[in-house]
């Protein structure tokens, strides 16, 4: 039997793509090799988080604006309760009343701060994909506490082609796919395309963020009359999600709901 060897010259782009795939596989191997280690405290656990961390971090009692998911101040909560609205759950914050965003609702699990931020960072940069499944499970549980109907289609905030090739996966899609399965919705990774590689939002002010993502997306399928859910790992200013909702509403979407794992408490 003859053995044939093929030597292929790989450019820098191919090497980066190969590194991203290797990183993703390494994350998957780690999840398999260490299934009994809590991602936050390191204690033994059969889940991503041990019972103690799960109770401490996922069961926060903070009341959030149902539209943008920012924490509501205590005076607003008290006035809502006195008005007969349970926990202020149906009252938007003042900002959303004064300047309503284009999306209708936001489900967020917790604030983006230590140590929970390490979960998002591990998912985004180290391919710890078991965390995405945990986010999906918790988002389903949070959504079921609302009286909203399940979305028709769930899509991730898209990455640019360059960033997707470099990273090897979209962390938002890693959350969105199992979430769609749990909610019985259609999962569509290619519903929306990012048409240009925008600058990272983290270092920009709100107005610049809005300009940065304005016109950066393209809708590839019909959503007329549908309830569309958009998934992301972290929501900061909401500029990207608002730009997506604006596009979806202009295309005839009936409702747009954001599902985000973590919410930056202040812009």
The pLDDT of residue 247 is 96
In this predicted structure, which of 50-54, 73-77, 160-164 has the lowest mean pLDDT?
A: 73-77
Read off the pLDDT of residues 103-150 as tens digits, 9 standing for 90 and up: 999 999 999 999 999 999 999 999 999 999 999 999 999 999 999 999
The pLDDT of residue 5 is 39
DSSP label at 230? E
**pTM of the complete model:** 0.79
CATH topology of domain 101-263: Rossmann fold (3.40.50)
Q: Return residue ranges of the chain for CATH 3.40.50.
A: 101-263
Report whether 157 contacts 232 (CB < 8 A): yes
Phi, psi values for residue 30, rounded to 5°: -65, -40
Q: Which residue has the higher pLDDT, 77 or 64?
A: 64
Q: Is 127 left (phi over 0), alpha (psi -120 to 50) or beta?
A: left
In this predicted structure, which of 37-46, 115-124, 192-201, 237-246 has the lowest mean pLDDT?
A: 192-201
DSSP secondary structure string for all residues of 144-212: TTS-PPPPSEEEEPPPPHHHHHHHSS-HHHHHHHHHHHHHT-EE-TTSEEE-S-PPPGGGS-HHHHHHH
The pLDDT of residue 192 is 97
The pLDDT of residue 132 is 97
């Amino acid at each position: 039997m003859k053995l044939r060897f093929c030597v292929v010259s790989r450019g820098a782009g191919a090497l980066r793509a190969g590194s991203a795939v290797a990183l993703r596989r390494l994350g998957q191997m780690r999840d398999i090799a260490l299934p009994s280690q809590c991602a936050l405290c390191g204690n033994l656990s059969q889940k991503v988080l041990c019972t103690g961390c799960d109770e401490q971090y996922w069961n926060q009692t903070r009341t959030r604006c149902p539209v943008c998911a920012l924490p509501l101040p205590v005076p607003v909560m008290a006035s809502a309760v006195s008005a007969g609205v349970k926990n202020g759950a149906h009252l938007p914050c003042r900002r959303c009343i004064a300047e309503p965003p284009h999306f209708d609702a936001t489900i967020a699990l917790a604030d983006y701060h230590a140590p929970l931020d390490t979960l998002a960072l591990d998912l985004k940069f180290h391919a710890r994909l078991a965390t995405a499944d945990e986010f999906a499970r918790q988002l389903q549980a949070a959504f079921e506490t609302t009286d909203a109907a399940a979305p028709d289609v769930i899509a991730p905030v898209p990455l640019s082609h360059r960033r997707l090739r470099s990273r090897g996966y979209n962390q938002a899609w890693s959350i969105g796919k199992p979430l769609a399965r749990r909610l019985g919705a259609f999962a569509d990774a290619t519903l929306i395309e990012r048409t240009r590689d925008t600058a990272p939002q983290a270092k920009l002010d709100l107005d610049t963020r809005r300009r940065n993502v304005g016109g950066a997306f393209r809708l590839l399928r019909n959503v007329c009359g549908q309830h569309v859910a958009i998934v992301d790992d972290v929501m900061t200013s909401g500029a990207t999600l608002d730009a997506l909702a604006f596009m979806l509403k202009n295309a005839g979407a009936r409702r747009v709901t954001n599902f985000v794992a973590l919410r930056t408490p202040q812009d």
